[in-house]
Structure formats: structure tokens, C-alpha cells
Structure 1
Amino acid sequence: MDYSKFKKKTILCIDMKSFYASCSAVAMGLDPLTCHLAVVGDTERKGSVVLAASPALKRDFGIRTGSRLFEIPDDERIHIVNARMASYLKQSMEITKLFHRYVPSECIHTYSVDESFLQIDGTEKLWGSKFEVAKKIKDEISETFGLPCAIGIGPNLLMAKLCLDLEAKKSGIAEWTYDDIEKKLWSLEPLSRMWGIGPRVERTLNRMGIRNVKQLANYPLHLLEQKFGIMGNQLYHHAWGIDLSEMGAPIMQGQISFGKSQILLRDYHDPKEVKHVILEMSEEVARRARRAGKAGRTISLGIGYSKDEGGGGFHRSKSIDSPTSITLEVYGACLKLFEQFYERRTVRKISISLSNICDDEEVQLDLFNEKRPKQHDLGYVMDSIREKYGSDALLRAVSYTKGGTALHRSKLVGGHKA
């Protein structure tokens, strides 16, 4: 690969270590790095999910994000607290304000509540070398907020993120250049450790005989494109450390989707109740697409069964002829998938996504559904009412049934207690 053809930027990827747990620890006067603290969705529910665990809790007790409250040992050293999402979001915004002291707003991309990218080209005279500015930011976050962070440095967004995940989270600050690709990235295995490769893509690549990044980088490009389309091109170039994304743009172009996943508050034995939640979630997924002015052709439904019955589940997709952002069309596709693959077992998790995205500029007329344009417009009207008066201003009747969750979740921030 001739890297001289690609522009070399100076990108910092900053990750707040165990952000929720660290924020809660500081609020309690504890050291985020040495205390044993878990943040859970609801301390009153034994099955509640651990949203964040302090580094010491991970190291000494093996409790991680995704563990359950009942798995946490009864040890007096361990602090268990409810999530305080409003407080975490406020803290995140304050950290972003700190970044503005180092670079202008167009050079900041907030990737998530606890992770941001900064482009620091041209700041050398103000703050020194890239390592010096990284250390200044790391130290100021620690001194101002009492929070630990790690920083990866790279010539593009992808490389900075890979450096963060694979090295800087252990060392504090690290840099990867194109010279490090073969030595530090190519040996990576399993492929799901590579940022941007999920379990399903990994399984497909494994079936093609690709088990590490080096094999991916040396696989014929035309065969990857034949199998994955534009995503195959991205997988190939990412294996070589190449990423042309600009600040603020989705790093995996072409992978944009709108989705929602929910771990249910209890086991759902009645499929009718499961369908009620599917309708609520279809509403939310379609709303997210409409908010972005997008529509999608592929609807995916995932169902996870209760661990009490051995776990497992299914994830299936269905493509439709015309792209949609209409709630009932998303729900209709999910319902067909549910009825086809559901095994009459107890449900504990549901996920829905809308992909194969395009602009929602116009609705294709359907000779068999003359109400389609009105349904399309009605969705946007309902969204505007909810934006003005709150997400619970308009709810479907199923939300007031025993199985509905939307009314409860409308009182939450980020899906958890404020």
C-alpha cells in the first residue's frame, strides 16, 4: 500500500475510562481507579444490568459491563449505585467545553457520551507536540474533574481509534502510524476485536477463510466487494489502516442504520405482549430515521430468550420493495419475522434496526395502499408534537397495557434513571 497518497492528519481519540463508574466514584469521594464500584440500571432489580464497572471491580471481581446485579459478590468493599444519566450527560458536556479550549468546534467530533475525536493539526505553536497536547488534555481532565482517560493518536480517525482500543487503554497515551499496521494490527484475532467488525460480519469472513486482519488485508478486493458491496471495500482498506472520513462523518460510511435494543424489565411469556413492545420499538426506530430525513429498505428483528431457558434467540432481516420510515410498515415486517422464527419461548431481549438507508425525500406510490403518503406525513406530524411536548405526549394504546414499556421509558434518560 502506498501511504504517501493519503493525507496524514493528527487525530486524538479520547476515551473516559469506565465513565459512568468514574463519575459516580468522584461524586462519592472515591478514587475511580482503585475503588470497587458498579453502576446498574436499577438496584432494586436483581436481574438489572451492570452499565459500568470501575477498573478495580473488573480486575479483582471479574464484573464487567453487561454482567447482572445478582452476579456481583456480597462484599463490603463493593459499592453498587443507580445510574444517574442526567449527571453523566452534564459531565460529558463540561468535558467537551474543555476540548474547545484546545481546538475549534469544527475539529471536535463527539463520538459518544464518553469518547471524542480531536484534530489538532496547526496547534503546535500553542500547545506543543502531539504527545504534549495529549498529556495536557489528560492532566487537565484529571485535575478539573478527577476523571481518568486514555488517548490514542493516529493519522486518521480509524487509526486513532484502533490505537486507543488496542494500546492506549493500557498505557494511557499511545500513537500508531502507518508503519505500525503490519506489526500491531495484522496479527489481531479474532476479527471482532477490530473496530467496525461485528459478530455477524466476523462469521461471514471466517467462512471465507479470513480469521485475522492480515488475511483480510491480503484477500482479493474484488471478492470482498462482490460479497459485501461498498462495505467490502471499507473492510479491505481498514485492514490497511486507510480511512478517508472527515471529522463528524460516520467512520464506517455505508453502514448507517437506525436501531433500538431493549433488555426487558422482566421475562415475557406471552407473545402478544412481545408484539406490543415490538410495535413501540418500531415507532422509535422509524422516528429516529424520520428525524434524520432517512428511510430504509431492510428491517431486522432480533429476539433473545431468557437465560432461565438456555438463552439463545434469533436475528433475521427482511428487505422490502420501497424504502420506508413509516412505523406500521416497519412493524409489519418485524411481525412477519417474529411469526416465522419465534419458538414459543420466554423473551427477555428485543432489537430492531432499519438499514439499507436512503433519503426520505419522497414516498413511492403504492397502487394497493393509497393511504401511504398520508401515513408518511402523519409520522412527521406525530414527531413534531413529541418534540414540543415530550415523548409521552403521544403514545399508542399498547403502551398502556401490561406489556408496554414506552410509558415507563419516557421518564428515563438514555434508557436509565436520570
Structure 2
Amino acid sequence: MDYSNEPKGVFMVIDNKSFYASVECVQLGLNPLTASLVVMSDQDNTNGGLILASSPTAKRRFHITNVTRKRDLPWDDSLIVVPPRMNLYIQKNLAINKIFHEFADEEHCFPYSIDETILDLTHTWQLFGDSPAQVARKIQKTVRQRLGLYTTVGIGDNPVQAKIALDLFAKHNKDLVGQLSYDTFAKNVWPIEPIDKIWSIGKHTAENLAKLGIHNLGELARTDPYQLKTHLGVMGYQLFAIAWGIDRAQLDQKVPIKDKGLSNSQVLPRDYKDQHELEVVITEIAEQVASRLRHRKKQTSCVHLYLGFSYAESEGSDRTSISHEQKITTTSDNRELVGAVMDLFHKYWHGERVRNVGVSYTRLSSSNAQQLDIFADPEVQIKKSKVDKVADEIRDKFGATAIFKGHSLEKGGTMLKRSGLVGGHNGGNAYD
């Protein structure tokens, strides 16, 4: 393969090792690499507790994974179990990225997730060391000294190489640094099996590749890309590029995001069968999405309701959920939106036990000018709009629970309990 025309730079993908668990270890004055600690969410909808993160030692000693349940935890006095504090993790993520900005400006620093960041150091790495690997170790040392956290670093000529170097080599090397380049990629990566160890190749894709006689990147690289396209669609071309360590993405190129709609969904803490309880939780979700709609100065002309049935309800039945939408007069008014969603609920729900609820609004338009219903009193419509606006402003200033509807106190309501969650888990007090 001739790489002479391919983009080449110095990229690092930096991962905060066992991030949530490491942050908790540091808060307790423990070494993140030697302490046995797990972060466990104990929300009602986790069926008894779910492990969100575990320290390297906990993984090694007790064979704990991020899908382990509370019931599977061993009884051991040395194992520390703590609840999640999502707000604290967000603060630490911001602090880590602030350190990264000392090595690359914001335009060349790309957060990939809460625990991974991509750095483009093509034009700056020489300011900080004699080699990219030396710069990586300097970044690691800075993060460790200031925050007590350990990081792993993958280095490559492009982001894909850096990510694969991180996943396959850095996490297993003593200095927690791995490096790939166009020159070394084939030798080091092509033989690795199973192929789903490679970033972006899941088990389903691996099964499809196996049907073509492909079990590693070397075999993938030697396959006709047009054959891959025939069997895998456009993904076939993408996989062929990965097999050769090629990545032509321009990370600093801004891609306009289409405003397709707003939605919210939740897994309920138990099966809901009572109609009134379902009406309460659906109303809460519909109003929450409506508030987000108004914050964005948008209106909707289409509402959608999704209800996922419980496992017991779905067993032996072809009907596992309902999903319906209806067009409405353009609005952002709470009462009109809740009414439209309730129409869908009453029309299509037939007494099934429900475990998942989702509400979405699509066909959005600007709400700079309010569209009035010609069949309703305009003064009443404007007054209702002002009430929604004032309620939104109170929540913005004093918090989500500063003002709420009485139905949230009724059986079935989840808004008050969920208001303190971040990403579905306890936000915690970052200053505990």
C-alpha cells in the first residue's frame, strides 16, 4: 500500500483508566491501581444494582465486569462498594481536559467520551519532548501529579491508529503507552484474532466477516473492497480502510447537525399496569420534553409515543411494544402537547404491563412568532404560553424541583426522584 498521499500527523487517544472507580479511589485517599473498589448504581430500574465501573485490581481479583450485578459481588471485606457521583466525574473530566489544553489548544482537543479524548499534536508535540512517546509520558505524569489519576495513551499517524494502539497495546504495556504508524500497522495488527478485538468491529460484524472467510485484519486487507461493499454496504469500505490503518477524517471540520427532534425516555422502576400511574409518568416526560423544546425556541407539529412492554407481558407474544405518532397544530404549549400524547396513549394502550416509556417531538420549527389557534381565545393562549415560560425560568434559576405539578407526588411519578440523576445515575455531591 502506498501511503504517500495519506494524511499523516501525531495523534493521541488518551483514556482515563477505570475512570469512575479511579476518581472514587483518589477521593478516599487510595491508589487507583491497587485498591479493590467498584462503583455501583442502585437505582430501582437496575434490578438490584448494576456495576458501572471497577478498579483494575477489583477486575483482576474478583472477575468483575461492567455488567456484573449486585447479587454477583463476592463477600469480601477488602472490596469497597460506593454509589456513583456523576457530577464529580464530570468535574474531573473537565479538569483533565484543561490539562490537555496545555499541550494542544481547544481546536485540536476532541473529547470522545467522558473518559477518552483525542489530541492532535501534529504541530505542537516538539514543544514538549524529543518524541511523541516522551510527550505522552509527560501528559500522564502531569495528570497523575495534579489529580492522582492514571491515563493510558495510544499514539498514531492518524486517530484510528491511535485508538487501536490504545485498545490493543497501551493498556497492556508497563508504561501504559502504545504506538502505531503506517510502517508498523500491518506487522502488529494484522495477525490479531478474534477480529472483534479491533475498534469498531462488533460481534455481529465479525460474524458477517467470518462468512466471507475473514478472521483478522490481514485477511480483511487482502479482500476485494468491492466484494466487501456488496456484502456489508458502505461499512465494507470503512472496514477496508481500517484494515490498512487509513483514516482521512478531519476532526476539526465542523459538521452541521440537523435538528431532527427532541425526545426523552426512561426505564421504569417496576412494571406499570395501572392506567393512572402510566398517565402520570407519561405526562411528566411529555412536559419535560416540552420544556426542552421551549428552551431551544422551537415548536413541534408531530408527537410520538413509545411504550415498551415488560418481559412477562412480551413473553410468548409478537406484540412487545407500541410506537405511534400523530401530526398536530404547531405548538410548544404544555397542555396541547400532553393532550396529544395522551390521545395516542388512550387509543393504542390496551392494558399491557409497561416497563419503558418514551416521548418525542419532531417536525420542529422556530417559535419566534407564536402561532395561534383561530378557534380559541387568543388572550387565553398567550396567557398559557406565559405561564409555561415563567415555570421554565423558575426551574432554570432554582432547579428542576423548584416548581412541579401535583401529579408528580402521586403513585407512579418519577420526576422528583430522577431530578437528581445524571445520565440515569446519582449525581452525588461533588464536594462530599
Return the TM-score normalized by structure 2.
0.69
Amino acid at match of 1:175: Q
- Counterpart position of 2:49: 48
Distance 2:285 2:261 in 1: 15
Matched, 1:246 2:254: no
- Counterpart position of 2:10: 10
Amino acid at match of 2:49: S
SS in 2 for 1:240: helix
- Counterpart position of 1:228: none
How many angstroms does 1:34 deviate by?
Answer: 2.1
How many angstroms does 1:55 deviate by?
Answer: 1.7
SS in 1 for 2:140: helix
Matched, 1:344 2:344: no
From 147, 154, 173, the equivalent of 1:152 is 154
Distance 2:372 2:392 in 1: 27
Higher mean displacement: 181-190 or 164-173: 181-190
- Counterpart position of 1:34: 34
Matched, 1:98 2:108: no
How many angstroms does 1:32 deviate by?
Answer: 1.3
Amino acid at match of 1:144: R
- Counterpart position of 2:141: 139
Amino acid at match of 2:397: K
Unpaired runs of 5+ in structure 2?
Answer: none
How many angstroms does 1:142 deviate by?
Answer: 1.9
Matched, 1:412 2:421: yes
Distance 1:354 1:204 in 2: 34
Distance 1:193 1:341, change over 3 A: farther
Distance 1:283 1:244 in 2: 39
Distance 1:169 1:144 in 2: 21
1:362-402, Cα deviation, whole Å (9 max, x unpaired): 79x9999989x999999888655533342234545543322
Unpaired runs of 5+ in structure 1?
Answer: 225-231
- Counterpart position of 1:25: 25
Higher mean displacement: 215-224 or 108-117: 215-224
Distance 2:278 2:74 in 1: 32
SS in 2 for 1:174: strand
SS in 1 for 2:416: helix
- Aligned pairs for 1:333-412 (under 5 A) are 344-345=352-353, 347=355, 350=356, 352=358, 360-361=365-366, 385-396=394-405, 398-412=407-421
Tell which has more relative contact order, 1 or 2 (C-alpha 8 A, sep 6+).
2
Distance 1:161 1:4, change over 3 A: same
Amino acid at match of 2:352: R
Distance 2:338 2:5 in 1: 43
Distance 1:383 1:60 in 2: 49
- Cα contact 2:290–2:337 (8 A) shared by 1: no
- Cα contact 2:271–2:353 (8 A) shared by 1: no
From 277, 281, 286, the equivalent of 2:281 is 277
How many angstroms does 1:240 deviate by?
Answer: 1.4
Distance 1:122 1:220 in 2: 36
- Cα contact 1:188–1:194 (8 A) shared by 2: no
Distance 1:183 1:192, change over 3 A: closer
Distance 1:256 1:165 in 2: 33
- Cα contact 2:51–2:65 (8 A) shared by 1: yes
